[in-house]
Amino acid sequence: MENNNHLAKNTMMLYFRTFLIMGVSLYSVRVLIDILGVEDYGIYNVVGGVVISLGVINASLSGASSRFVSYAIGNGNEDLLKKYYSSIKMIHWILAIGVFLLGETLGLWLVMDKLVIPASRLTAALLCFQMCLFTSMISIISVPFNALIMSYERMEIYAYISILEAVLKLAIIFILPYTGFDKLISYGVLLLMTQIIVRICYNFYCLRNYKVAKLKATFDKTVFKEIFSFAGWTFTGQLAYMGYTQGISILLNVFFGPIVNAARGIANQVQTGAGILAKNFQVAIRPQIIKSWAQGDVDNVQYLVIMTSKLGYYLTAFTVFPIILCSKPILSIWIKNVPDHTVAFVNLTLIAMLVESFSNAIIVAVHAVGNIKKFQIYESLVLFMIIPVAYIQLRVFNMSAEAVLLMYIVVQILAQIVRLAIVLPMIKMSIKDYVMQIFPRLSITTIVLLLPLLTLNIDVVNLLNLLLYTALMFLYVGLTVFMLGLSYTERNLLRNMIITKLHKKK
């Protein structure tokens, strides 16, 4: 119960943080398209995507850092924590330098020779690329501090600093129209300054509160080998992830130009906003799964995997279904000039989110176990299929951009089947038990949630009516999940938690 209360508190702090960030992000897209124009907005998305692709190993090391720090804390081994942390700092400094070198060679080649960028905007695109590259480097060397905060489950600190970041990014939107320089270049410079301020805040808190944060970066051959062995295999998964996200964006740019990248960028912003409920719940629960495994509590790991899979889907559905129903009017009111393909991209991306919502619990479970070689090989092979398949779709069959995203959904389904087949035996759970505890009730719930999408055609341009429709849809989804998606015991638990919180406030 104590862990559940702590989990609920951390999740709520993350919700508060992310709702603010979502509001800033959604507002920023609308204003940025007006300030930069659709073409420059598309250029920023594809250039930024190149930088993200170059830093793909950072995502692997970030996950590895969090895993090893959480494991050492759960194990109660202070010396092990010090060894891990000092080595993690050294690794991320090396990685930041490596990303810089890659960016100034391979990255520049991609931007200058492969991407479709109008000649008149090439200089601005190159300067924006440099700003994105330095921003990425600063983000990389901040990872060890983030890992400490997340592993000690100090989500409120993470939330406060993230809120500061959101406020600074909002300030950028108001400052940008008044800069006397090229708007695309100015945007890149201001984002770099924001990242520097955020980095200083993380450093200050961790150095003040955690003795281990003061340790110098050191080289420990044994620890390096252990972390890189883990991160090396997760890298294959991150490489595949870059393939079916940034790789798709690059392919769409090559075949359709930057306007389609603008539509893809908008869809990604909607995806980020729609996934906040599930993502924050999953972030909050990750340390508990790893610590439970470190303590040998297999039953709790199984319970957390089931709960995260089920609630992750319902929390995703809570935002996905209302947005799909009202996607066209939402986009027309949110963005004045909606680029072609945007409505279809948004809806297909949201459908893919429902499939992906099951993956997080399984991925965290295999990270907790630590035996990830087989998992990463098979998952990566399936996920990376999207690149050659998408290329054949576009080059050989001249298929539409929407067809690529449909294949993206199919690949996600196949990848989830592979994940279950490999990971569940590791945590001593049968596939039959997993399926029977989740999918019968979930399938009925989904069918009922689909009814409005199949029977209603929402096409309004009035903001008040749109808010009414979306509010009613949120209510419909919430009641459906509560009555059909949760068991009797889960409904009582949720009801008692809400009553307890209300009594405490009184």
**CA quadruple 491, 494, 496, 498: dihedral sign:** negative
Q: Which of 373-377, 450-454, 489-493 has the lowest mean pLDDT?
A: 489-493
**Positions of E strands within 38-103:** none
119 burial level (CB within 10 Å; 0-12, 13-18, 19+) = exposed
Cα–Cα nearest to 53, from 236, 189, 245, 255: 245
Residue 203 pLDDT: 85
Instruction: Name the DSSP letter for residue 295.
Output: T
What percentage of the chain reaches a pLDDT higher than 90?
A: 15
Residue 98 corresponds to which tokens in the numbers above? 């490596």
Cα–Cα nearest to 94, from 237, 208, 218, 5: 218
Contact 364, 286 (CB under 8 A): yes
Q: Is pLDDT at 39 greater than 80 in this prediction?
A: no
Instruction: Name the DSSP letter for residue 213.
Output: G
503 burial level (CB within 10 Å; 0-12, 13-18, 19+) = exposed
Contact 278, 320 (CB under 8 A): no
Evaluate if pTM is beyond 0.75. Answer: no
CB atoms within 10 A of CB 108: 16
Q: Is pLDDT at 454 greater than 80 in this prediction?
A: yes
Q: What is the mean pLDDT of the chain?
A: 81
From residue 215, give the alpha-carbon distance in Å to each of 212, 239, 434.
Answer: 6, 31, 43
Q: Convert the pLDDT of each residue in 337-350 to its tens digit.
A: 788 889 999 999 99
Residue 428 pLDDT: 92
**Domain map (residue ranges) of the chain:** 2-505
Q: Is pLDDT at 12 greater than 70 in this prediction?
A: no
Q: How far is C-alpha 179 from the geometric centre of its chain's CA atoms?
A: 31
Distance from C-alpha of 406 to C-alpha of 390, rounded to nearest angstrom = 10
Residues contacting residue 64 through CB under 8 Å, at least 6 positions apart: 227, 230, 231, 234
Residue 488 pLDDT: 81
Residue 5 pLDDT: 53
Burial 248-261 (b: 16+ CB within 10 A, else e): bbbbbbebbbbbbb
Radius of gyration of the chain (CA): 23
Contact 411, 353 (CB under 8 A): no
Helix, strand, coil share of the chain (percent; to 5):
90, 0, 10
SS3 for 179? coil
Q: Is pLDDT at 99 greater than 60 in this prediction?
A: yes
Q: Which of 20-24, 299-303, 327-331 has the lowest mean pLDDT?
A: 20-24
Q: Is pLDDT at 50 greater than 80 in this prediction?
A: no
Residue 334 corresponds to which tokens in the numbers above? 């949110």
Instruction: Name the DSSP letter for residue 486.
Output: S
Q: Which of 129-143, 321-335, 367-381, 454-468 has the lowest mean pLDDT?
A: 454-468
Cα–Cα nearest to 8, from 330, 307, 298: 307
Contact 326, 490 (CB under 8 A): no
Residue 502 pLDDT: 53
DSSP output for 361-390: HHHHHHHHH---HHHHHHHHHHHHTHHHHH
Q: Convert the pLDDT of each residue in 232-284 to its tens digit.
A: 666 666 666 666 677 788 888 888 887 788 888 888 878 877 776 677 677 77
Q: Is pLDDT at 140 greater than 90 in this prediction?
A: no
Residue 19 pLDDT: 62
Q: Convert the pLDDT of each residue in 190-243 to its tens digit.
A: 888 988 898 888 888 888 888 888 777 777 778 777 777 776 666 666 666 666
Distance from C-alpha of 276 to C-alpha of 316, rounded to nearest angstrom = 8
Q: Convert the pLDDT of each residue in 416-448 to its tens digit.
A: 999 999 999 999 999 999 999 999 999 999 999
Distance from C-alpha of 35 to C-alpha of 183, rounded to nearest angstrom = 8
Residue 436 pLDDT: 92
Residue 170 pLDDT: 83
Q: Is pLDDT at 365 greater than 80 in this prediction?
A: yes
Q: Convert the pLDDT of each residue in 71-94 to its tens digit.
A: 787 777 778 788 888 888 888 888
Residue 161: pLDDT band with limits 50, 70, 90:
confident
**CA quadruple 407, 409, 412, 413: dihedral sign:** negative
Residue 104 pLDDT: 87
Q: Is pLDDT at 184 greater than 60 in this prediction?
A: yes
Residues 12-29, mean pLDDT to the nearest whole number: 64
